[in-house]
Amino acid sequence: MTATIERKPSKRRASAPRGPRESLVSRTMAMAVMGIASLYFLVPLWWLFVSATKTRSDFTTTAPLWFADFALFDNIGALFAYRDGVFLRWLGNSALYAGAGALIATLLAAMAGYAMAKYTFRGRELLFNIVLGGVLVPATALALPLFLLFSQIEATNTFWSVFLPSLVSPFGVYLSRIFAAASVPDELIEAARIDGAGEVRTFFTVGTRLMAPALVTIFLFQFVAIWNNFFLPLIMLRDEELFPVTLGLFVWNSQVSQIPDIRALVIVGALLSIIPLIIAFLSLQRFWQSGLANGGLK
Amino acid sequence: MSHKKAIAVFIVPFGVLFTVFYVVPIGYAIYQSLFVLERDGTFGAARQVFGGLSQYIAVFQNAAYWESIGRVLLFGVVQVPIMLGLALLLALLLDSPLVRGSKYFRLLFFAPYAVPSVIAAIMWGFLYSPNLSPFSAVTGSIDFLSASSVLWSIANVVTWVYVGYNMLIIYSALLAIPQEIYEAARLDGASQARIAWSIKIPLVVPALVLTGIFSIIGTLQLLAEPQVFQSFTSAVTSTFTPNLTIYSTASVPNISLAAAMSVVLAIATFILSFTVLKLTQRRTAS
């Protein structure tokens, strides 16, 4: 047991004492599991990427997992040109539904969660429990009654019929409360009060800063929830101009049997619709991972 | 000192939207479910009349609806343990000193979560199709889109999307365990597998319960994947899952019956999640 362990000690294990050296067999087996899992998760995405670069004839005649003539940019051009660029419109719609929706939802949830963590008031626990119950209500269960309500006021098939319901994030309130209780010290709020800052101003200057990892986490997960939401737009929207990208691609995919050429557009469109989310997760990972680790699991 | 005004400023915006878009729709669904459609003769105009609980009797007599609930329960009993087991295994491996480059594996396994269900289903639909699939050797001998296997093909899509997400939640819980807890076990010469089994898994049970409950909710609410698969195979009927049944009932249109079905489904979801929560709480307490 004198041989040095070659792994570079990671930060969090640097101080841990060294136990018995892990056997080569268990290390190999662990890496084998990792390798197989990597293939399982990556191969479909790889196939999507490779397929999106192919011409229509190469798609069915060449090896599915390797490149043929590289026509990705032609395909993207064709996708953007199809039916006066309706796909770009869908991407823009999704960005607006998910971006603006998640931003407002995060702000509202943070304010409510902060208030429940930092102030005592009558009915606080009751309110929190009702919101927690809301976490368990699935979005699809709300879609049909929302449709009925919006039809009563003749507001279905509008931007607002999809946008407004997405501003509510009960899970965000839950996460904000836990995070605010753990990371915003009462002394700081007290100090701000002595300096003469109002309660609301204190929240925006002190509270939001300390809650930042939770806010990024709430924003990202709400963003994904709205971006992925399918049932609500499916039953609310008739007008293609208002579609988010998921609904648009769904409609195209169900037309493949009548318009076979559309299949290539579905594949390129699917690839493009994934990229914004991957970028968002990668660029913000530092924040949301610590938000998950510290807040969500009490 | 009272901060009533500030509290109102913080709570009211969320409270109003929560009431309008959560509480009111639930109340409205219950209200709607108490009506029935009545027609004067076969072709007469339909009108809504109060019917008490008669829609609920209709729901209980609706065989297709219960078949669809049975189908997703079967789906959940198989898929949820496989998915969470896989997520737990990968999280434990990432957290163990056996694996190098865990940061990259973590992001790689999580990547499918960025793929919307609709897109994942379209993608896997192509992968399953015998003439388009890169795995034609497999799809040539097994028909993934046949009536007997399509449920499990959908299970694979759901697993593919959500393993990484669940893994990350469990992994975050593992990171929160203080390292000192392992010291004694290591000095005693316990293997990584032993440490995982006896120390780590019991400590991440709350995270497993959380992911389990979200998975149960997700299972009962299956919609996007089977809806997409309808364009790849005729094996997915319009009453394949409860939500598809509700959707097709609502488009008949029989809004009241669909509302009653929604209420029954929401109650079933709630009871199931609540039961899981209580059962696991009792076990960890003892």
Give the tens place of pLDDT for each residue, A194-211. 988 889 999 998 899 999
Which chain B residue lies closest to A280 (C-alpha atoms)?
B114
Lookup: tokens for B19: 């009431």
Model confidence at B180: pLDDT above 80: yes
Q: How confident is the model at residue A58 (pLDDT cuts 50, 70, 90)?
A: confident
Distance, in Å, from the CA atom of B68 to the CA atom of B224, rounded to the nearest integer, reads: 15
Handedness of CA B94, B97, B98, B100 (dihedral sign): positive
User: Count of residues for chain A?
Assistant: 298
Compute the distance between CA of residue A254 and CA of residue A170 in angstroms, rounded to an integer: 34
Residues 6+ apart with CB under 8 A from A260: none
Listed in order, strand segments (DSSP E) in chain A are none
At a CB cut-off of 8 Å and minimum separation 6, what does A154 contact?
none
Give backbone dihedrals phi and psi of A257, rounded to 5 degrees, phi first: -70, -30
Q: DSSP assignment, residue B184?
A: H
Q: Specify the pLDDT at position A18.
A: 47
> Residue B49's beta-bridge partner residues?
B36
pLDDT tens by residue, B28-81: 999 999 998 777 666 667 777 888 889 999 999 999 999 999 999 999 999 999
Q: Residue A20 CB: number of other CB atoms within 10 A? A: 13
Q: Which of residues 87-116 of A touch B (CB under 8 A)?
A: 108-109, 111-112, 114-116
pLDDT exceeds cutoff 80 at A239: yes
Contact B205, B277 (CB under 8 A): no
Residues belonging to chain B: 286
Taking a C-beta distance cutoff of 8 angstroms, is the pair B220, B242 a contact? Answer: yes
Show residues of chain B in contact with A41, CB under 8 Å.
108-109, 111-112, 160, 163-164
Which pairs with CB-CB distance under 8 Å and at least 24 residues apart come from A125-131?
Answer: A127/B11, A127/B15, A128/A173, A128/A177, A130/B23, A131/A170, A131/A173, A131/A174, A131/B18
**H helices within chain B, ranges in order?**
4-18, 24-32, 54-61, 63-95, 102-110, 117-128, 136-141, 150-175, 183-187, 192-195, 201-203, 205-220, 224-229, 242-250, 255-285
**A58 vs B: CB within 8 A:** no
Q: Which two tokens stand for residue A40?
A: 């399982």
Cβ–Cβ under 8 Å, residues B213 and B273: yes
* pLDDT tens digits, B214-235: 899 899 999 999 999 999 999 9
Mean pLDDT of chain A: 87
Q: A31 vs chain B: nearest CA distance in angstroms? A: 6
**Residue A279: Cβ within 10 Å count:** 11
Between B147 and B87, whose confidence is greater?
Answer: B87
Q: Is the pLDDT of residue A19 over 70?
A: no
Distance of CA A181 to the CA centre of its chain: 25
Q: Interface pTM (ipTM) of the complex? A: 0.89
Phi and psi (nearest 5°) for B35? -110, 160
Separation in Å, CA B137 to CA A40, B97, B126, B130, B145: 17, 38, 15, 9, 15
Question: Which residue, among B250, B281, B278, B253, has the nearest Cα to B265 in the 3D structure?
Answer: B250
Give residue A16's pLDDT. Answer: 44
Given CA atoms A22, A25, A28, A29 in this order, what sign does their dihedral have? Answer: negative
For A57, A70, A268, B115, B123, the CA distances from A63, given in Å and listed in that order, are 12, 13, 18, 24, 17
Does any CB of chain B come closer than 8 Å to the CB of residue A19?
yes
Gap between the Cα atoms of B271 and B283, Å rounded: 18
- pLDDT cut 70: percent of chain A above it: 91
- The answer to whether the CB atoms of A64 and B160 lie below 8 A apart is no
Distance separating alpha carbons of residues A136 and B215, to the nearest angstrom: 11
Of B219, B191, B202, the closest CA to residue B80 belongs to: B219
Nearest to A254 by CA among B47, B233, B286: B233
B199 touches chain A (CB under 8 A): no
The token duo for B102 is 């865990």
Q: Does A137 touch chain B (CB under 8 A)?
A: yes
Query: Which of B114, B116, B269 is opposite residue A246, by nearest beta carbon?
Result: B116
Query: Which residues in chain A touch residue B35, judged by CB atoms under 8 angstroms apart?
Result: none
Q: Decide: B243 and B222 in contact? Cβ < 8 Å.
A: yes
Minimum CA–CA partner of A41 in chain B: B109
- Mean pLDDT over residues B12-32, rounded? 95
A140 or B106, higher pLDDT: B106
pLDDT in tens, A68-102: 888 899 999 999 999 999 999 999 999 999 999 99
Q: What percent of chain A has pLDDT over 90?
A: 57
